[in-house]
Amino acid sequence: MQKKLTSGKRSLQCFAVLALAFFCGCKPRVDQERTWAVYKADANSSNYSPLDQINVSNVSQLKSAWTFSIKDKIPGTRPSQCNPIIVDGVLYATSAGQSAYAVDAETGEKRWSFDPFNGDEGAEVNRGLTYWESGDDQRILFTANNTLFALDSHTGKPIASFGKNGKVDLRVGLRDTSENIFVTATSPGIIYKDLIIMGCRVPDVYGAQPGYIRAYHCKTGELVWTFHTIPLPGEPGYETWPKDAYKVVGGANNWSGMSLDLQRGMVFLALGSPSYDFYGTDRKGTNLYGNCVLTLDASTGKHVWHFQTVHHDLWDYDLPAPPNLVTLNRDGKAIDAVAQITKQGFVFVFNRETGEPLFPIEEKKVPASNLPGEEASPTQPFPVKPKPFARQRITEADLTNYSKANHDSLVKKFRSLRYEGLYTPPDLKGTLQLPGTRGGGEWGGAAFDPVTNFLYIKSNDAPDIQTITKGDPKLASTEHPTPKKAVSQLETIDRYASADQYLNITGYITWKDPSGNPAITPPWGTLSALNLSTGEYAWQIPLGNDDARQETGGPETGQEGKAGPVVTAGGLIFISGTDDKKLRALDKSTGKLLWKTTLPALANATACTYQVKGKQYIAISVGGTPDNPSGYIMAFALPD
């Protein structure tokens, strides 16, 4: 049973805010120069823009407006995942090398840059930064490796009064304060008043740190509150773990970002799985708050409500994107809600204040584990509605046939694996997992249109094969390997002297045939339009195209991609992220392609749109090329 707490005071405060708005007789003013001043557009993580200068009637005229070439000193080409923010005509972004940049949003000319490593290499994933202001004090807050920096937004210089000479060590305040542990922030923090609330990424290995949620004061860098995502003795949820699990188990972290209800003072987090991802004998139980939509009081960090989407995760089914805060129209009533997409292809929808499901959710029996010592949860939650937006089951008929030898190899492998559909647990004979660890939903998240109540979701149909072995923890497969300066897996193994180590050595790799073709038939990537008020889908299309594998005269293949959609009041969806290197504009009502352009490299990032001096732009971070390994920021606009 899901545990929920509510506050009568919060309802009273909400009533007061609404009453004041009614008394003033005015609607909230949209600052046209700050329509994308927050990661993923706004505190709701909506990926929505109210701008409509670029619309279905003229988007075909889009042209390149400017290109900013990033010149970090890093070897090799790098992907970029940054969603830029724009404040008063200045675009702020991070590079694949984790440097921060301020660029004139009208011309693409550099205002300043900040190298957090003083010339050394930075290589951690970074998806953006955060803007905070109090009067004339205007700051950019962002992370690089294990450090949170505060920069003057006008100069890019560190603000010495923040933390220690402009930076805060994110290792301090975790379970094991040590120079050897590793923590960073994949996605930027979010601002509530004078606090920046931070999630984190920790390595997906045995002995990793727990992903505590922390809030720091934006002026001083002082740690204000901490929420233990792996509860300590005496805290609610402690009973869902073994007695000493809090001392050794890691993960349950918010790496994908968060959302904020400013009026209610509530922050909404999407939490990942506990570590180790694929074997949990040292964490028997349901493992709160792993894989939870978690709601906290933004001022204090106190628990408000939660819902666990996976019990005792054995599949790395992290919640991959921040919750979308939405307002639905149901039976003529407006309901403030939370919509959470998942890697499994589910959409969970809850009342924002209480956490009550707005569509039924059933606990269904799932397969048991055969691994020694493992106790998989006997049931998992399945939303009755909406239907999954990704494939959750395949048969031999879904295996590709690019040649007889390739097909025979796939069939032989398929028959050798344990596969009983969704939530088939890891097994020594090997397990087929669909959706895999990198799909359906991904970190680009969904886009919500508040006018139509439609949620737009990019999804991957990408199966994994889990190959479980007992042995050397150095073989463990992680999507983001532990950095050299972090504690190694071997150095942590003595903390589990009584536990056998079972490892997945083929995780995070999409299953393919011996010639490198996808193992399952297309589509391999889709874009869906879901009416959240009714729970019904309006359309679903393949997104992206593999020209070499498209059947003659057949539909596009769709492709894997992690970037999310952007939806606008101009009737458009903008989306990139597919291997064909395209940035596309689609009609949001039908999914019809209206415009596309080929970028110089993969744009594995969510786009943004903004206005400067009355002109609307679309901007996107683009990965590196041989000529410019550090990548680009590119902007598009209508001709003058």
Tell me the longest C-alpha to C-alpha distance in the chain: 74
pLDDT of residue 101: 98
pLDDT of residue 330: 87
Smallest CA-to-CA distance from 560 within 588, 593, 523 is with 523
Domain residue limits at 156:
8-637
Instruction: Find the mean pLDDT for residues 514-519.
Output: 98
- Least confident among 74-78, 140-144, 326-330, 592-596: 74-78
The backbone torsions φ and ψ at residue 356, rounded to the nearest 5 degrees and listed phi first, read: -70, 135
Q: Residue 562: is its pLDDT beyond 80?
A: yes
Instruction: Find the mean pLDDT for residues 103-127.
Output: 91
Q: Give the CATH number, domain containing residue 104.
A: 2.140.10.10
pLDDT of residue 477: 47
pLDDT of residue 3: 41
pLDDT of residue 72: 86
Neighbours of 337 (CB within 10 A): 23
pLDDT of residue 507: 84
User: In angstroms, rounded to a whole number, what is the distance separating the alpha carbons of residues 406 and 300?
Assistant: 57
Helices (H) and strands (E) in the chain, counts: 4, 40
pLDDT for 563-584, tens place per residue? 999 999 999 999 999 999 999 9
Average of per-residue pLDDT values in the chain: 91
User: In angstroms, rounded to a whole number, what is the distance separating the alpha carbons of residues 474 and 454?
Assistant: 45
Q: Which tokens sit at 319?
A: 């919640």
Chain centre to alpha carbon of residue 468: 27
Contact 3, 306 (CB under 8 A): yes
Radius of gyration of the chain (CA): 23
Residue 313 lies in a domain: yes
Contact 440, 388 (CB under 8 A): yes
Q: Residue 489: is its pLDDT beyond 90?
A: no
DSSP state of 398: G
pLDDT of residue 12: 41
Quote the pTM value.
0.93
User: In angstroms, rounded to a whole number, what is the distance separating the alpha carbons of residues 510 and 433?
Assistant: 10
Q: Which residues contact 436 (CB under 8 A, 6 or more apart)?
A: 460, 462, 463, 464, 510, 511
User: In angstroms, rounded to a whole number, what is the distance separating the alpha carbons of residues 210 and 591?
Assistant: 41
Higher per-residue pLDDT: 527 or 489: 527
pLDDT of residue 470: 87
Q: Residue 99: is its pLDDT beyond 50?
A: yes
pLDDT tier at 472, thresholds 50, 70, 90: low
User: In angstroms, rounded to a whole number, what is the distance separating the alpha carbons of residues 621 and 609?
Assistant: 12
User: H helices of 330-443, where?
Assistant: 404-416
Residue 510 lies in a domain: yes
pLDDT tier at 623, thresholds 50, 70, 90: very high
246 torsion bin: left (phi>0), alpha (psi -120 to 50), beta (else): alpha
Residue 427 lies in a domain: yes
Higher per-residue pLDDT: 26 or 427: 427
pLDDT tier at 17, thresholds 50, 70, 90: very low
The backbone torsions φ and ψ at residue 397, rounded to the nearest 5 degrees and listed phi first, read: -65, -20
Percent of the chain exceeding pLDDT 70 equals: 90
Q: Residue 122: is its pLDDT beyond 90?
A: no
pLDDT tier at 18, thresholds 50, 70, 90: very low
The structural domain count of the chain equals 1
Question: How many residues belong to the chain?
Answer: 640
pLDDT of residue 32: 82
Residue 37 lies in a domain: yes
Residue 106 lies in a domain: yes
pLDDT of residue 371: 96
pLDDT for 327-350, tens place per residue? 999 888 999 999 999 999 999 999
State the sign of the Cα–Cα–Cα–Cα dihedral 397, 401, 405, 410: negative
User: In angstroms, rounded to a whole number, what is the distance separating the alpha carbons of residues 517 and 511?
Assistant: 9
User: In angstroms, rounded to a whole number, what is the distance separating the alpha carbons of residues 543 and 563?
Assistant: 12
Q: Residue 45: is its pLDDT beyond 80?
A: yes
Smallest CA-to-CA distance from 198 within 182, 218, 178, 180 is with 218
Q: Is 64 helix (H, G, I), strand (E, B) or coil?
A: strand
Write out the DSSP string of 122-162. Answer: --S-----EEEEETTEEEEEEEETTEEEEEETTT--B-TTT
User: What are the CA-CA distances from residue 429 to residues 30, 249, 417, 446 (Å)?
Assistant: 57, 26, 6, 36
pLDDT of residue 29: 53
Residue 70 lies in a domain: yes
pLDDT for 347-382, tens place per residue? 999 999 999 999 999 999 999 999 999 999 999 999
Q: Which tokens sit at 541?
A: 């299309």
Percent of the chain exceeding pLDDT 90 equals: 83
pLDDT of residue 459: 98
Q: Is 541 helix (H, G, I), strand (E, B) or coil?
A: strand
Residue 283 lies in a domain: yes
Instruction: Find the mean pLDDT for residues 241-260.
Output: 97
Question: Is 538 exposed, middle or buried (CB count within 10 Å of its CB: 0-12, 13-18, 19+)?
Answer: middle
pLDDT of residue 23: 33
User: In angstroms, rounded to a whole number, what is the distance separating the alpha carbons of residues 172 and 484?
Assistant: 19
Residue 2 lies in a domain: no
